[in-house]
Structure 1
Amino acid sequence: MNAKLEAFAALPPFLFTWTTFFAAGTIFFLLRFRRRLVQWSVRDLFQTLFPFDPLRSKSFHADLKVYVIRKLTDFIFLAPGTAVWAMVATATAAALGTWAILPTGAVPGLSGILVVAVTLTLLGEFVAFGWHYAEHKVPFMWELHKVHHAAETLNPFTNQRAHSLVLVGKYSLKGLVGGVPSGLFMHYWGFSLVEVLAIGALANQLLTISTLDALRHSEFPVGFGPLDRLFISPHMHQVHHSSLEVHWDRNFGSNLSIFDWMFGTAYRPQKGEEIVYGIYGLDEQELAKYYTLKGTYIDPVVKSLRCIRDAVIPRAKHPEVLAERLP
């Protein structure tokens, strides 16, 4: 069983992503063909998979550029979060050993592994929900998060469309929160930090795949019916990307929807409900600024820093305002 789990964990994520995406697209094509909405042709199949022109879509090109850059640089921006997690977990385990509050050396068994998996998954989902909520409510965080919401079309590459600095803050927070129970598990069951992180990562991967994360950034409106009460379906996340007012600040969860239902931000779209992707108030020309590398990586940081400055320093004392007052 361990060998099978290790083999599963070693499979590249893009394999699950694109297999799920093309399988869903083929099913949608067959359903549309049955209803005589499309013809039996490669062209119509392609248009079902990509209901936009990949060669001309600047939004799609931006997705590709960010995807490639992140594949080359993510390890740099994820390192601080990993370091925080390791330090907090190690310190917690050491403190528990010094204080002798809990026994140690217990045999984990399957139940212990499940406790680790469920605990880290729930905490990770809650942190992701809280961080995402803050990204929409805190001005300087929203400026960075706009990079993701500027997408005018959704496809699996859009999932990676985010400012790299977000990874530093988000995963450092996850490290702070997840490090404490990780240290407890290390002390009580004798797990190594690597083992705890591996269990958490595998549990997250299983949840991500089973809840069709690959389709959340697609234009296939797949819902889960009653299970929308537990999980974020692709259709629920597509609504999150909508610029229509009725959809603002909805469905912040990553895989689980339970926190959205708890805090009143959940929204279940109706079949065929209109969705307009993009950012409210920005026209195509303004959105296009986010499709350049400067608009993706530099401008958001400048705007974010201005938001922080405006929150700390009264506008009357800004250098440009003082300069305007000079005779």
Structure 2
Amino acid sequence: MRRSNNTSLDTVVTDFILLGLPHPPKLRTLLFLVFFIIYVLTQLGNLLILLTVWADPKLHARPMYILLGVLSFLDMWLSSVIVPRIILNFTPVSKTISFGGCVAQLYFFHFLGSTQCFLYTLMAYDRYLAICQPLRYPVLMDGRFCTILVSGAWVAGSIHGSIEATLTFRLPYCGPNQVDYFFCDIPPVLRLACADTSVNELVTFVDIGVVAASCFMLILLSYANIVRAILKIRTADGRRRAFSTCGSHLTVVTVYYVPCIFIYLRAGSQSPLDGAVAVFYTVVTPLLNPLIYTLRNQDVKSALKRIAAGRGSVNEKQ
């Protein structure tokens, strides 16, 4: 059980002050530039993936790359929910965020984050069908079924975000209003509540734990079957290509789940490392995803070369 120091209900909080990332004042300009560049590169990198999947017929006809396009779209929005607010904290602009703005930020962060969690699971399932049941794959994972699965992930993510936002802000907030974090997230906001937060902490632990653990176990199950199927492939080139299509996905799953587990499955933690870990999966991971898929995925690199070659030939004709 944790209560804020001021339990008077005479004052109702109408806004919050985001204290942001602790930093030496001398580095403010440098950090502003670093996060600004990261944000721009994140948007451009994910937009490049999105446009490549849309423009190349060989990619947007395959469910795996439809899912990759959706992942890039989610990364662009997730970064936009968090990073601009971080950048503002390095300027003289007020660090105040309205109560409604805080609710919206928490909702969209968990909505987009949980949708990503479900999407990673769908990507693992897609790879399982492609490698373990290649003859039935075109029937089992057609465009219509892929659209249904993606829609289900969005709906489930929205429900999850609504539950977390409703539970967090149903509590009274009567001061103080300084959020010791760089965005409105469940643990730092709950520390300001003027009521018992033990139920919220339990529900958050169970809810996020069940979602993350279920998705992670399904991913592990999919890849256990994938590895078993790959080891049966006779040619080394065939095994290498099969592992290549899975390597990128396994990498992004790792950089997504490990920080989330560190942050949310340690109820009541106030570790100073939480902020650094949160920066990694909210700021760095959306930047890394397009790099991982372009550097490690041969199909995406080939598509980029085809698009570049096509534009070159058009310019020559002109």
Q: Same fold (TM over 0.5)?
A: no
TM-score of the two chains, using structure 2 as the length reference: 0.30
TM-score of the two chains, using structure 1 as the length reference: 0.30
